[in-house]
Amino acid sequence: MPRVELKGIAKVTSKGRDYWYAWRGGPRLRGEPGTPEFMASYNEAIESLKATNTDKFHSVVVQYRADAFKGLAASTRSKWAPWVDRIDEYFGNLRTVQFDRAEKIRPVIIRFRNQWADKPRTADYGIQVLSHILSYAVDPLTKITKNPCNGLARLYTSDRSEIIWSDADIAQLKESCPIAVAQVVDLAVHTGLRLGDLLRLEWKHIETNSITITTGKSGHKRAAMIPLYDGLRAVLAGIPERGKTVLTSTYKRPWTVNGFGTSFERAKIAAGLKDRDLHFHDLRGTAATKFYVRGIPERAIAEIMGWEEKQVQKIIKRYVGRTAYTEELIRQLNSNPDERRT
C-alpha cells in the first residue's frame, strides 16, 4: 500500500521512543504512522483546527466526531462515517442557531433527504444520522433547544415482523458455509445478541449459569444476560477455544465486522439464498421467537437480550412473528378457560 505523506507532522523522540504530533504544539497522534488509527487521529486533529468559527454547524460536527461518535459500536461508526461527512459538507456552513428555527430549517433538511428520494431506506438512514448529531447539539452541547428532525415522516415503511430465519433456512445455509460462519449463526440464534456483541464475546463473559455481556447498542450501559440452557451449552461446547474471543474466523483469528459481513454474504450466495430478504440481524428475531414460543415472559426476554423493559411489548411485536405471537395468546387463553367467563 502506498504511504501517504502528511504535511506538518512533528516528530519528538524521548527516552528512545518516537512520538508524533499533528503539528508543532498540536495534539499527539495515536498509533503508528501508516496505520488506520494514526490516519484517523490526524484527520480528527485537522478537523478540529478548521473549526475556528464556533457559530457554524461544522463546529458541532467536529465536537460530535470527537465525543459521541466514538461511543458508538465499531460497526455503526463504519456505516455512519460517510454520512457524517455528507452532513458536514451540506450543513457545515450554516449557523447553528438556524437549526432552532424549525419552520426555516426543515425545508433544508427535507431537501437534503430528498437527494435519495428514489432510495427511501437510504434517505431515512441519512436523517437518522443527522438526528443523532442534532440531539447531541441539544444535549450535552446546549447549542440548540430542540431537534428539528423530530416528527419528520419516514420515507421507507416495512414490516419485518414475519421475516425471521426458519430452521430450514438455517440448515440450508449451514450445508455449504464454512464452520466458522456456522458457529456465529448458531450462537446468534441461541443468544439473540447483535453481531458486534457476538464478535467481541470473550470466554470470560461465560459464567457458571449465564453469558453476561454489556451491549454496544446501549453504549455498554446495559447488559444482556443469557441463561446457559442446554441448547446454548451444546453450541459453546462445539466451538474450540483459540484465544480471548469465543468466535474466530476461518484463519483462527478474531472476526472483524466487515470481514464476517463479507463471508456471510458469500455463504448466502453459495447456499442459494441471495435473493431471499433475509439479513443477519433477522436471526435476532429468530432468537426472540424461540424464547417467546417456549413461554419465556416478556420481561425475561428483555433481560436476556439487553432491551429496555419499557420497550418490551413493542419490540416483541416487532421481532416475533405474528403467527408465533397469536399462537402464544391462544395457548394462554386455553390454559385458563375459567378466567374467560369472569
Q: According to the model, what pLDDT value does residue 48 have?
A: 65
Which range scores top for mean pLDDT: 6-15, 55-64, 125-134?
125-134
**Do residues 9 and 151 both lie within one domain?**
no
Tell me the mean pLDDT in the region 232-239: 96
8 A C-beta contact, residue 174 and residue 270:
no
**Do residues 105 and 23 both lie within one domain?**
no
8 A C-beta contact, residue 136 and residue 68:
yes
Closest residue by Cα to residue 238 from 198, 183, 185: 183
Q: According to the model, what pLDDT value does residue 1 have?
A: 41
- Least confidently predicted of 7-11, 135-139, 222-226: 7-11
Exposed, middle or buried, 293 (CB in 10 Å: 0-12/13-18/19+)? middle
Q: Is pLDDT above 80 for 117? A: yes
Which range scores top for mean pLDDT: 27-31, 229-233, 287-291?
229-233
**Do residues 6 and 113 both lie within one domain?**
no
For 11, the enclosing helix (H) or strand (E) is strand 10-14
- More confident call, 99 vs 340: 99
Q: According to the model, what pLDDT value does residue 321 have?
A: 67
| CATH code, domain carrying 85 | 1.10.150
Q: According to the model, what pLDDT value does residue 342 have?
A: 45
**Do residues 330 and 281 both lie within one domain?**
yes
pLDDT digit string, tens, across residues 46-73: 766 554 467 899 989 988 988 888 888 8
* Residue 157 pLDDT grade (very low, low, confident, very high; cuts 50, 70, 90): low
pLDDT digit string, tens, across residues 265-301: 999 999 999 888 788 988 988 888 888 878 888 888 8
Whether residue 297 has a cis bond before it, omega within 30° of 0: no
**Do residues 41 and 122 both lie within one domain?**
no
Asked if residue 162 is part of any domain, the answer here is no
Domain boundary among 126, 157, 188: 157
Structural domain that includes position 35: 1-50
**Do residues 77 and 123 both lie within one domain?**
yes
In angstroms, what CA-CA distances link 246 with 39, 254, 288, 337?
30, 8, 22, 46
Give Cβ neighbours of residue 217 (< 8 Å, ≥ 6 apart): 73, 194, 197, 306
Unique residue bearing C-alpha cell 416528527: 151
Q: According to the model, what pLDDT value does residue 70 have?
A: 84
Tell me the mean pLDDT in the region 131-143: 93
Closest residue by Cα to residue 88 from 57, 66, 67, 119: 57
Q: Is pLDDT above 70 for 158? A: no
Region of residue 211 (phi > 0: left; psi between -120 and 50: alpha; otherwise: beta): beta
Q: Is pLDDT above 90 for 151? A: no
Exposed, middle or buried, 176 (CB in 10 Å: 0-12/13-18/19+)? middle
The cell numbers describing 56, all together, are 457554524
Q: According to the model, what pLDDT value does residue 278 have?
A: 87
- More confident call, 125 vs 51: 125
